[in-house]
Structure 1
Amino acid sequence: MQLSITQMILHAGPVGQMVMVLLLFFSIFSWTIIFMKGRLFRNVRLDSEDFLEAFWSSKTLSEASKAADEFTFSPEAAVFKAGFNELKKINSIRNRGDEAAKETLEMQLATMDNLKRALRKAETEQLNRLGHLLPFLATTGSATPFIGLFGTVWGIMVSFHDIGQRGSASLAVVAPGISEALVATAAGLAAAIPAVIFYNFYGNKLSRVHDSMLNFSTDLLNLVERDLLSRV
């Protein structure tokens, strides 16, 4: 009698069914992450394009800050807001008292270190936000084939045990148990293959976002430094 995949799973032993449930969990959670990240990176791309256009068309940093509030998915906008807030703190400290007017160029440029640290911290936070849950795809891609293989090996062991109990090694006796056991390997590969593909896919997207943030941070630092030099 020809068995369907569902019937094979239902006829499997408790260990085999437990393996299939575990693989099903990995698969469902992986596809959930895949769809979530797909939507997230799409929003990131759209918001980043709009923010960069608004930033370069802004006449002042304050105007750019107002534009950054509108693009919540853009990592460049988040990096800019962190840098802008740090600049405001630096300026507020600078403007206290009359000694601010005596600042030398070296003292002004030294304040850039605080800005650089603020930008680097914001970049790290954005990378962590965008890369959240991606390691689970890597875990799925590396672990589920072995989980499926364990289910297959266990099912084959049970099949050989049944052969010994029945005292017959005919194909009719062996084939159903072996086929049920091999379903676990197929399920493990079915969970692993898309997880590996999309982990690499989103990993590349994350690298491009990181490069874009680094380029934007460099441009922002150059703008601020030129502004400082113009005041001397």
Structure 2
Amino acid sequence: MIQVPLVAQGPAVVFAAGAPGGDILHMVLSAGLMVKLVLLILLVFSVVSWAIILIKARLLRKARKETESFLDLFKEGLELKKIFMAAESYGFSPVARLFRSGYAEFNRLKKIELSLAAEEGHVADSGSLVWSKQTMMDNLNRALEKEVIEQVNRFEDSLGFLATTGNAAPFVGLFGTVWGIMESFHSIGLKGAANLAVVAPGISEALVATAAGLAAAIPAVVAFNAFNRRVSALRVDMDIFTADFLSMVERQLLKRQTIGRPVR
């Protein structure tokens, strides 16, 4: 009669005593100094990663939306000058920036050509090309390639931190776990006891570091892969637009050579 209540009360007493130990905040506060330092480092990794994720997600979303809108505008066949003026409102689109760079370089080459024509006695509006068509196309192509690289670098900026977080955070958390387990075994040696009540709290506190490392690494890896795919898609759009823009300019130069009509 007396033993039955004791058996029934045992689990309730153990559960009540174990409840604080099962709380994550309690385990963090009860962890050793090194484990706390590891958790602080992982917290910094996580906060910075989430800031990058939110900023890049917004930037890439706007870049995709404005790029699609600008390509629709470009396909309408408007005059280059009008497209250039409209492109200024597409600040997030790498393709719009690519067009502005290409158009500015094309105008710069035309001014140089007119200057050379004047020096050599050619009539500026005669439509004759002082430079060869291939020379102008090569210069324009180099300018566009440079702008493509700059735009890709702009979108890939800070993505390296996400890759570093994804690779390093689990190992940082594992280091904290190993250190915490070492302290637990050291405490066992000092107390001379190896029962579950002595071992479990220290090990559970140490394992929090591994969980924190994974919590910081997983979103960073997922976001890094997703953003890389989006940047690659934008790079394809820029490469296609570069080919289209160069083809358009080449047609204008051929028309200028054959009928002497100035480029718009």
TM-score category, normalised to shorter length: over 0.9
* Cα shift at 1:45: 1.1
- Following the alignment from structure 1 to structure 2, what is the Cα–Cα distance between the partners of residues 186 and 108? 62
Q: Which runs of 5+ in 2 are unaligned?
A: 1-17, 258-264
Q: Select the residue among 256, 259, 262 that pairs with 1:231.
A: 256
Per-residue CA shift, 1:121-167, capped at 9, x if unaligned? 11011001111111111000000000000000000000000000000
Q: TM-score, normalised by structure 2?
A: 0.85
* Cα shift at 1:46: 1.2
Say yes or no: does 1:42 pair with 2:61: yes
Residue pairs, 1:1-232, within 5 angstroms: 1-2=18-19, 3=21, 4-96=23-115, 97=118, 98-99=121-122, 102-103=128-129, 107-232=132-257
SS at match of 1:59: coil
Per-residue CA shift, 1:26-85, capped at 9, x if unaligned? 111111111111111111011111111122224211111001101000000111111111
- Following the alignment from structure 1 to structure 2, what is the Cα–Cα distance between the partners of residues 108 and 152? 66
- Following the alignment from structure 2 to structure 1, what is the Cα–Cα distance between the partners of residues 129 and 209? 71
- Following the alignment from structure 1 to structure 2, what is the Cα–Cα distance between the partners of residues 93 and 40? 37
SS at match of 1:111: helix
- Following the alignment from structure 2 to structure 1, what is the Cα–Cα distance between the partners of residues 87 and 249? 17
Q: Which runs of 5+ in 1 are unaligned?
A: none
Letter in 2 for 1:174: V
Larger Rg: 2
SS at match of 2:75: helix
- Following the alignment from structure 1 to structure 2, what is the Cα–Cα distance between the partners of residues 124 and 103? 30
* Cα shift at 1:103: 3.1
RMSD: 1.2
- Following the alignment from structure 2 to structure 1, what is the Cα–Cα distance between the partners of residues 217 and 41? 13
